[in-house]
Structure 1
Amino acid sequence: MRRHDLDWLRVIVFALLIFYHVGMFFVPWGWHIKNNVIYDWLTWPMRFLNQWRLPILFVISGMGTYFALNKRNGYQFVGERVKRLLIPLVFGMAVIVPVQVYAERIYNNQFAGNYFDFWPQMAFMGVYPEGNLSWHHLWFLPYLLVFSIVLTPLFLYLKNNPNAGLIGFTRRIIAKPLGLYVFLVPLYFIESLVEPFFPSTHDLFNDWFNFSNFITLFFFGFLLMTVKEPFWQVVQQRRRTYLYCGLVGFTLMIGLRVIWEDSVLIHFIEAGFMVFNFWSWILAIFGYAATYLNKSGKLLSYSNEAVYPFYILHQSVTIAIGLYLYNLEWAFWIKASILVVGTFGISWLLYEFIIRRIALIRPLFGLKSRKINADYKIENPANAK
């Protein structure tokens, strides 16, 4: 049975990603281009989002994989993943991401000229950051593709053996009070023992902390779906407990960073707070979503298909707008509003009037082949008589 709450969460989290990347324009953290005025206060809501936004995306992706494998064999699933992930990645690196690199080179006075002087003459020269070829915000796609291929044999085993020991253990453990916190054990060891030696790079090959952390969360998503309704019943019943745990965990994590300087001991303590914190928020979000969002509708159907093209487009649109705004002496709320409205608006125009309607373009943005009737409403061929 389709989980509409997962569809809603996917849409909501990717929408928050647009707000997050708009925020990156204004905070002290490194990003491709920065506003002429930096706002330290904005780091606090950004930290709150940053703690769980990526982990929950990989958990949701693992849950979606469970549904995908119920309809396909292993070869069909891998083929579908290649089509839906690799094609948009290659297209995005060739067409969408160069806009960001061009804007960054202009911003840093590393290039002078218009965009057509930059692309294709320089857009594919060398690997970023020394060169210009990059996947930038699309790093999520190669990671998800590799995770899907690597874990497919294990997923097929679990799918074909519903009474496997690991599934039985998961059923038993989630029935216990706070039993879902057992999943913190591997996450804690990754955070405490791997993260200090492998800073985040998003280059796939030398990014061992992100790789090990996100593939674990991706697997957890699939595993939790194998126990089916008991998981959703637990997160619904205990959603308030998880919410309180998240509030406590976030407070402890922030307090530790503010009061004590970093050290080996503090790192191991902070790692515990961090994983407890983001896992609590993920469980709380699932619980509230299962309670209030497990319902379909036209808005969800439209948004669920639009979210992938929006993800591919949004950061290039944000940075392109930011290139014209960064040096203006305008207030924060004016610039932020222009960036948010402009990013959503331009992405929607491109999606609604080009991507959604042109059959040859749809696969470049990871969309399935569908027919569009005279009213521009998408029809699913599977439902056709």
Structure 2
Amino acid sequence: MERHYGMDWLRVGAFALLILYHIGMVFVPWDFHVKTAHPIDWVAIPMMAANSWRLMLLFVISGYASRALLSKGAHLGSFIASRSRRLLIPLLFGVIFVVPVQPWIELAVKYHYPHDFGWFWLHDYFRFHRLHGIALPTWQHLWFVGYLWCYTLALTVLIASLGWLRAQRGFDWLFGARLGGVLIVIVPIVWLLGVDTLLPGARETHDPLHDGVAHLHYFPGFLFGFALARSEPAMAAIGRWWKPAGVVALLAYGVVAAIEWRWPGNTMPAHPWGVTFATARVVQGWCAVIALAGFADRFWNYDTPWRRTLTEAVFPFYIVHQTIIVLVEYWLLPLHAPPLLEFAVLLPATVAGCWAFYLVGREIGWLRPLIGLRRHTREIPA
């Protein structure tokens, strides 16, 4: 199959938005590892614009990429071995060396942890226990990488049990005969609403053994992307319906934003606005995924010299970005700076730190696999 550059650009944009979203977590009233001294309620309104679809989109794109890798002729054994190297090695490196500063800062800020980082890393981080409710060691934001590997393994087992040809025919039948029209928008929304009805009030835990609501959301999204990669009827349906889906996503976001404005923060909306909020959020989320996929297919399916560099830089950026955000905000807290000034420092500092992490890491052969890059070196356009 031909490379879909639109999906590459969509992946780059989604991760860039994720970095901006995590910077926003410093200022919104929701819980985070370190917070500004003056959280702002209205920041939740723009955050809600991406909250419902940012992760689903990433899992859909990851499924699409998995199908592209298998379509190159790789055997299942080499496929899962390659994906394990690309995912588990950076995950282990991140858990041991990149992530630990985040729980240390959270413990210091929220619970007045008395020891420095060196003591924490050597004596407390690897004790496999809970300290003030925080499980140690932890993968923090890298849960996405762990879940992606689990879903890749589950997909491999599924294909091995059915046989590659039978699995392909099954996906092609489902997306051709059943999801080749407007149902590509409707059926996933019905599924997601059904999950929320089956598990009312369930929240994501990022504990793979006790996170049913996340698995019922994201694993089907991963499979959707996998099937979409070779389904001409499904891509044609997205091409027909992405504009109406985008309009519906904006209308649903208007409902979500209005309810958040009326009942900010952790305030519970009055009945029936809580159910309305949850329903609108699901509709907004999936319609946004369809709209963005259609937009990328229509306008972004082209290559540029920067595309390869940015596509490669995405994973190193993801590994390190949240640690930089938490660390920089921890340094800013004693200054008691206004939130706008904190944001003006956090954003460029995070981007600069991510670029430095990538640019240095890509030049060191043994470090490349640890930050999610292929082992061999190659010339990369400036």
Shared fold (TM-score greater than 0.5)? yes
CA gap of 1:130–1:17, structure 2 versus 1, over 3 A, is closer
Q: Please say if residues 184 and 238 of structure 2, whose CA atoms lie closer than 8 Å, have aligned partners that are also in contact.
A: no
1:172 is aligned, of 177, 197, 203, to 177
* Superposed displacement of residue 13, structure 1: 0.7
CA gap of 1:60–1:155, structure 2 versus 1, over 3 A, is farther
CA distance in 1, matches of 2:16, 2:193: 28
* Superposed displacement of residue 30, structure 1: 0.4
1:338 is aligned, of 338, 342, 345, to 345
* Superposed displacement of residue 263, structure 1: 7.6
Alignment of 1:356 onto 2:362: yes
Q: Please say if residues 317 and 357 of structure 2, whose CA atoms lie closer than 8 Å, have aligned partners that are also in contact.
A: no
Alignment of 1:365 onto 2:365: no
Q: Please say if residues 162 and 226 of structure 1, whose CA atoms lie closer than 8 Å, have aligned partners that are also in contact.
A: no
CA distance in 2, matches of 1:245, 1:318: 33
* Superposed displacement of residue 70, structure 1: 1.5
SS state at 1:36 partner: coil
1:220 is aligned, of 220, 224, 234, to 224
Quote the residue 1:231 is aligned against.
Answer: 234
CA distance in 1, matches of 2:241, 2:86: 35
CA distance in 1, matches of 2:118, 2:170: 58
* Superposed displacement of residue 231, structure 1: 2.8
Quote the residue 1:74 is aligned against.
Answer: 76
* Superposed displacement of residue 221, structure 1: 1.2
Alignment of 1:243 onto 2:249: no
Alignment of 1:24 onto 2:9: no
CA gap of 1:99–1:224, structure 2 versus 1, over 3 A, is same
CA gap of 1:39–1:257, structure 2 versus 1, over 3 A, is closer
CA distance in 2, matches of 1:193, 1:256: 23
CA distance in 2, matches of 1:141, 1:341: 25
CA distance in 1, matches of 2:34, 2:355: 23
Q: Please say if residues 33 and 107 of structure 1, whose CA atoms lie closer than 8 Å, have aligned partners that are also in contact.
A: yes
Alignment of 1:311 onto 2:313: no
Q: Please say if residues 309 and 365 of structure 1, whose CA atoms lie closer than 8 Å, have aligned partners that are also in contact.
A: yes
CA distance in 2, matches of 1:326, 1:3: 44
- Alpha-carbon RMSD across the aligned residues, in angstroms, is 2.3
1:58-137 alignment, distance < 5 Å: 58-71=59-72, 72-128=74-130, 129-137=133-141
Amino acid aligned to 2:29: P
SS state at 1:33 partner: coil
2:199 is aligned, of 188, 191, 194, to 194
User: Which piece of structure 1 moves more, 174-183 or 19-28?
Assistant: 174-183
CA gap of 1:44–1:255, structure 2 versus 1, over 3 A, is closer
State the identity %. Answer: 31
* Superposed displacement of residue 118, structure 1: 2.3
Q: Please say if residues 22 and 322 of structure 2, whose CA atoms lie closer than 8 Å, have aligned partners that are also in contact.
A: yes
Quote the residue 2:294 is aligned against.
Answer: 287
Q: Please say if residues 228 and 235 of structure 2, whose CA atoms lie closer than 8 Å, have aligned partners that are also in contact.
A: no
SS state at 1:217 partner: helix
User: Which piece of structure 1 moves more, 301-310 or 148-157?
Assistant: 148-157
CA distance in 1, matches of 2:184, 2:50: 25
SS state at 2:123 partner: coil
Q: Please say if residues 60 and 226 of structure 2, whose CA atoms lie closer than 8 Å, have aligned partners that are also in contact.
A: yes
CA gap of 1:205–1:263, structure 2 versus 1, over 3 A, is farther
Q: Please say if residues 325 and 350 of structure 2, whose CA atoms lie closer than 8 Å, have aligned partners that are also in contact.
A: yes
CA distance in 1, matches of 2:105, 2:241: 47
TM normalised by structure 2 equals: 0.90
Alignment of 1:323 onto 2:330: yes
Quote the residue 1:160 is aligned against.
Answer: 165
CA distance in 2, matches of 1:109, 1:165: 53
State how many pairs are aligned. Answer: 372
CA distance in 2, matches of 1:327, 1:74: 53
Amino acid aligned to 1:135: W
* Superposed displacement of residue 149, structure 1: 0.8
CA distance in 2, matches of 1:237, 1:131: 46
CA distance in 1, matches of 2:197, 2:272: 10
1:141-156 alignment, distance < 5 Å: 141-155=145-159
CA distance in 1, matches of 2:355, 2:79: 29
* Superposed displacement of residue 11, structure 1: 0.9
Q: Please say if residues 36 and 327 of structure 1, whose CA atoms lie closer than 8 Å, have aligned partners that are also in contact.
A: no
1:328-385 superposed Cα distances (whole Å, 9 cap, x missing partner): 33232221121111011012112102x101111111112111224xxxx249xxxxxx
* Superposed displacement of residue 130, structure 1: 4.0
Q: Please say if residues 4 and 294 of structure 1, whose CA atoms lie closer than 8 Å, have aligned partners that are also in contact.
A: yes
1:8-48 superposed Cα distances (whole Å, 9 cap, x missing partner): 11111111111111111111100111110111110001111
RCO higher in structure (CA 8 A, sep ≥6): 2
CA distance in 1, matches of 2:29, 2:375: 42
* Superposed displacement of residue 237, structure 1: 3.3
Q: Please say if residues 192 and 271 of structure 1, whose CA atoms lie closer than 8 Å, have aligned partners that are also in contact.
A: no
CA distance in 1, matches of 2:184, 2:372: 37
CA gap of 1:44–1:257, structure 2 versus 1, over 3 A, is closer
Amino acid aligned to 1:245: V
CA distance in 2, matches of 1:131, 1:67: 36
Amino acid aligned to 1:168: W
CA distance in 1, matches of 2:224, 2:179: 13
Amino acid aligned to 1:10: R
CA distance in 2, matches of 1:165, 1:370: 36
* Superposed displacement of residue 158, structure 1: 7.7
* Superposed displacement of residue 191, structure 1: 1.9
